[in-house]
């Protein structure tokens, strides 16, 4: 009975992904047919051609998400240290929660005026800066729990044993923070990867990320292209989950 329940749960979890993949391989799906009448790789060949909009959107999304994850993780790691040990820790931490008071679309509408005045709207750099408004505070909140009394004691012990600031950082803090750094990188990558509201309003339709393309195909009622873009959107998530699983088993 437990084995049956396990298989049913696995089927329920995998069904949406399998359904998207099936739709991305289909054509000519008309009522009352249960499944598309034609199965082909033509959609994949056409949309993943080197000059296609979807291929460019995929590369653009990867570049933006990796850049956001790298910058947000690095900045928030050091910012969280200063906040965690500051006497106004609670007040400063409340500021990090401020961007989450509003929905991303409302936040983007608030920021759009300033991005237009600065000439950053409709540019990849502007979209990345806007996404940092939600990715960077997330990293700060995450790392605040890492910088605790135990880490401070380890820094003091290293200094007592003659280690300078660089040696303490490289040989003590970085090894201890490896897991937290990877978690923050993965999470901020996903925040950027699935971000739609900020990207749409700050990008003013010119910065076509993969998430924007999914909604564009849905708006055009092109379910096959939308399904293909959806599969590409989910693949990094599956890959990150697999990497996370391997790391957990290794640890």
Please give the Cα distance from 108 to 102 (Å, whole number).
9
Report the distance separating Cα 199 and Cα 211, nearest Å.
Answer: 9
The rounded distance, in Å, linking the Cα atoms of 107 and 92 is 20
| CB 201 within 8 Å of CB 110 | no
- Tell me the pLDDT of the chain (251 aa) as tens digits: 777 788 788 788 788 888 888 888 877 777 777 777 778 787 787 777 756 788 888 889 999 999 999 999 999 999 999 898 888 888 888 888 888 887 778 888 888 888 988 888 889 999 999 999 999 999 999 998 888 888 888 888 888 888 787 888 888 888 888 888 988 998 999 999 999 888 988 988 888 898 998 888 888 888 888 888 888 888 877 777 777 666 655 65
71 touches 132 (CB < 8 A): yes
Which residues, including other chains, have CB under 8 Å from residue 188's CB and lie 6 or more apart?
Answer: 68, 69, 72, 73, 135, 138, 139
DSSP H or E run through 38: strand 38-39
Q: How many CA atoms lie within 13 A of 183 on its CB side?
A: 14
Dist. CA 84–CA 242, nearest whole Å: 32
Dist CA 45 CA 189 (whole Å): 27
What count of other Cβ atoms lies within 10 Å of the Cβ of residue 84? 20
pLDDT at 240: 74
Domains within the chain, CATH numbers bracketed: 53-250 (1.10.3720.10)
| Residue-level pLDDT at 249 | 57
Query: Any residues with CB less than 8 A from the CB of 48 and at least 6 apart, and which?
Result: 54, 55, 58
| pTM score, whole prediction | 0.85
Three-state secondary structure string covering 105-149: HHHHHHHHHHHHHCCCCCCHHHHHHHHHHHHHHHHHHHHHCCCCH
């Amino acid at each position: 009975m437990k084995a049956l329940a396990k298989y049913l749960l696995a089927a329920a979890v995998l069904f949406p992904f399998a359904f998207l993949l099936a739709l991305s391989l289909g054509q000519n799906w008309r009522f009352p047919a249960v499944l598309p009448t034609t199965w082909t790789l033509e959609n994949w060949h056409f949309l993943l051609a080197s000059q296609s909009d979807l291929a460019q959107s995929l590369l653009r999304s990867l570049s933006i998400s990796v850049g956001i994850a790298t910058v947000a993780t690095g900045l928030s790691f050091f910012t969280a240290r200063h906040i965690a040990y500051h006497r106004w820790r609670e007040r400063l931490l409340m500021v990090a929660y401020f961007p989450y008071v509003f929905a991303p679309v409302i936040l983007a509408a608030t920021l759009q005026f300033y991005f237009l005045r600065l000439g950053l709207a409709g540019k990849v750099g502007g979209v990345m800066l806007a996404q940092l408004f939600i990715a960077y505070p997330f990293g700060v909140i995450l790392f605040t729990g890492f910088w605790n009394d135990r880490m401070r004691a380890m820094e003091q012990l290293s200094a007592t044993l003659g280690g300078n600031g660089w040696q303490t950082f490289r040989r003590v803090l970085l090894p201890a923070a490896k897991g937290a750094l990877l978690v923050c990188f993965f999470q901020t990558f996903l925040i950027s990867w699935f971000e739609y509201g900020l990207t749409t309003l700050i990008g003013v339709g010119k910065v076509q990320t993969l998430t924007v393309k999914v909604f564009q195909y849905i708006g055009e009622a092109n379910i096959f292209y939308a399904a293909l873009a959806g599969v590409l959107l989910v693949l990094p998530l599956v890959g990150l989950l697999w990497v996370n699983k391997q790391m957990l088993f290794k640890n």
